[in-house]
Amino acid sequence: MTRKALPPLTALRSFEAAARNSSFKFAAEELCVSHSAISHQIKILENFLCLELFTRKARCVELTKPGKSYYPVVRDALDSIAEGTAALLSPQAPGVLTLQLYSTFAIRWLIPRLFSFHSQFPEIEVRLSTSQKDVNFEYDDVDLCVLIGAPTSANLHYDFLFKSELLPVASPEFIESVGAINTPADLAKHPILQVYPSARDWSIWLQHAGAEQVNPESGLQFDSYDHALLTAAQGLGVALGTQPYIDRDLQSGALVELFPDLRMKTPGEWYLACRQGKAQDKKVLAFRQWLLEEIKNDPALQHLK
């Protein structure tokens, strides 16, 4: 079979870097060439395709509709070439698996179990990155991510992990110092520990409990549930816990569930996501299968599926 004519590789590399950075300037810095060289290579590619790939603006560039369609094709092709080259040159080198996830999931659930993955797959090096923002797989250099929500993109592969529950908690010392907290309305008298990237969670739970008059912004604010729960354990207020991440705190007595009859499921569900074209990649598939098995064997998650 005769291969059809391909665009110049240099032009494709310039296009991919410019698209990923939304800038000819940053693409030039990354590839160690001049701004005009990037612009020239993009023009060569556009002439080859007879299409305009970018809309030029004063401070940045934006992909046109054809550019948005072409970018993931070029990106995945260059990724494949890079990975194949690395495997050829260093066949015994460990594969690096980049994983982005929320810090609470990392600290309170995944990291204590990672030794199991490493013992089964010592050749795969897991590189963790925590963020409260979900991955943009169009631009971010990430193999897998854990996210809350629902499948939204046909270009991504999703593995359902579990649902989670919301429940207010406080330390025994806090309860002893302020007295009994008998109803959700009583929370109006006490500091609320808020997780601002998930600010809707408190409002949703208060509505579920019929206590909308309680102001969820009345206390300290944190960027993760882990920080809020640690602060609650220090006796500084009432935190909204997410199950399965507080089992150990409840079992040890560091935290007490205030209203056991008012637990509620979170609106979103937890998923592991990756690009469709990466789902069967050896290292990605190994982690996917391992994670799903760990979840299957976790007693705390049996009622959250």
Q: How far, in Å, CA of 171 to CA of 188, rounded?
A: 17
| Pairing between β-strand 269-275 and β-strand 264-265 as defined by DSSP bridges | unpaired
Q: Does residue 286 sit in the same domain as residue 146?
A: yes
Contacts of 27 (CB under 8 A, 6+ apart): 14, 17, 18, 20, 21, 38
Q: What value does the mean pLDDT take over residues 223-236?
A: 92
Least Cα distance to 130 among 118, 117, 147 occurs for 147
Give per-residue pLDDT as tens, 57-107.
877 889 999 999 999 889 888 888 887 787 676 654 557 899 999 988 999
Say if 2 falls within a structural domain.
no
The tally of domains found in the chain comes to 3
Our CA dihedral for 142, 144, 145, 148, rounded to 10 degrees, sits at: 140
Say if 214 falls within a structural domain.
yes
Residue 196's domain spans which residues?
165-265
Give per-residue pLDDT as tens, 176-185.
999 889 999 9
Q: Does residue 79 sit in the same domain as residue 133?
A: no
Q: Does residue 38 sit in the same domain as residue 113?
A: no
- The whole-number pLDDT of residue 88 equals 72
Q: What value does the mean pLDDT take over residues 213-222?
A: 86
Give per-residue pLDDT as tens, 255-276.
999 999 999 988 889 999 999 9
- The whole-number pLDDT of residue 94 equals 55
Q: How far is CA 157 from CA 130, 161, 228, 243, in A?
A: 20, 13, 32, 25
Q: pTM, whole model, 2 decimals? A: 0.70
- Specify the CATH number for the domain of residue 22: 1.10.10.10
- The whole-number pLDDT of residue 2 equals 58
Say if 4 falls within a structural domain.
no
> Is residue 216 over pLDDT 90?
no
Q: How far is CA 51 from CA 27, 43, 71, in A?
A: 20, 10, 13
Per the prediction, the chain carries an average pLDDT of 88
The C-alpha R_g of the chain, in whole angstroms, comes to 24
